[in-house]
Structure 1
Amino acid sequence: MRIARFSLDGNVAFGVVEGDQTDPRDTEGLTVTPIDGHPFGPFQTVGTPIPLGAVRLLAPTLPSKVVAVGRNYAEHAAELGNEVPQAPLTFLKPSTSVIGPGGEVVYPRFSADVHHEAELAVVIGRMCREVPRARVQDVILGYTCANDLTARDVQRAEAQWTRAKGFDTSCPLGPWVVTDLDPADLAITCTVGGELRQAGRTGQMVHSVADLVVHISEAMTLLPGDVILTGTPAGVGPVTVGDEVAVTIEGIGTLTNRVVKRG
């Protein structure tokens, strides 16, 4: 099932997306049927299907926090001259970093070297803490695409990553959440202006989705809608104003955002 969050005539709702297309830039044949309430519990669809082209897709979740994982692909760690950490290397991105499909990435004034990082995102479906490995799937709503945009020059210059990875619009998510998906070995790519930059598979992750949920929930309570970013494969590189960045993950779809200059 694909669950989207959308706006229509000023009203925001969740809905179930149906149709064969996986890139919301091509809406032919795609519809969204509103659901009663939110998807973090039992729900039912209401009303009639709406053509997807008639709505504006939003970030599929509004997380209280985004917990991200660094250096979770060995080749990516190596390309930046880093070793793979023994335990997951985690950091937080604020809720204000989140934008949706088609949203504009605003290039921060304090950086001259912003990089794309295509990632699989895990969306939490229920409040949980200290999740045992056997229960991990019970607390996951589904999966979506993410771009962990990073001010690389700031990351190098500062002793921690808060500004480098937490600036406004640095966490595009979307286009929807897929609930019935095995994340073990999915193709993940990133293109910039149509040029392939990243191509990997989630099976290359050092720490699996289950590893990350167990590790992170040992330290903090995860709330419905919270997001875990699982790391990026090799091939990260710079984006510039005017670039269109597209993250595609097998079984989910394509998340596209354009980089703009701050006004």
Structure 2
Amino acid sequence: MNTFATFANSYKPVGINLGGIPSDANGPIIALAKIKPEKVNHYEIGIKSTPFNSTTINLTIFNTDIDNYQTLVQSEDPTLNRGYLANAEKVRVRGFEADSRITINQYLSFNAAITYNEGKYISFKNAPLPLEETGLKVNGVSIYSKDVSGGTLPGISKWAGTLGGDLSKEGQFFGNKGRFFIAIDSYSRSSFSSSATPSKYLNIQGYSIFNGRVGFRASEGLSVYLWGRNLLDKNYFEQLLPASGNAGHYAGVLGDQRTYGITLRYNL
């Protein structure tokens, strides 16, 4: 058993907003042109173990803190209705991941992995409004920004995992030594937000897809295998986003359909 700890620090440099900034009666608000540097602190602790000769089990716990997260923000002043690139005050992602591989014998092996992620805005006080609140008025005054502190980060599923197996046997193919094999793997993820500002209409449901491969792997010479992606032809979305003009409707980006192919590879 091996244990480890990791700390990493990184940043995106300071920048100048060339995409346009809000203006007032005196012209562009120059103070908003500067984009603060994004600072990232990442921590990990974990275990890598081989409890049996044929089994590996690994576990990692992680935490990532991001200060001055660079994203699209909205002017807090309703008279300056303008989105522009600036900074959310603080973002955090934390969770754990575990993976394992079990070799039953020289012919059969299995692998599995699971990840838990909690990604949220710790502080984001002037986020753009979500789709369903576009045109919101409070006491007759139009509102263009929202405090989404504590809201979910986009693109992050709380749970994701893989599961697969590989059955193989030694043999020869066109005089090349190697292994005939059949392999199946699956990938699953829970629901996730597709909107930078959390929206109940832009959440994508979780899904699972199954992939497979069958063929011959040569240590030297010709390898050939057939592969298939999304074998069960699962319908799923990769992204939901407001349509142009933001009139209350939204569009979807579809995931991959069932696909087949063949791969040839020659190892010298």
TM over 0.5: no
Give the TM-score of the pair, scaled to structure 2. 0.21
Relative contact order (alpha carbons < 8 A, sep ≥ 6): 1 or 2 greater?
A: 1
Determine which structure has more spread, i.e. the larger CA radius of gyration.
2
TM-score, normalised by the number of residues in structure 1: 0.21
Q: Which has the higher strand share?
A: 2
More helix by share: 1
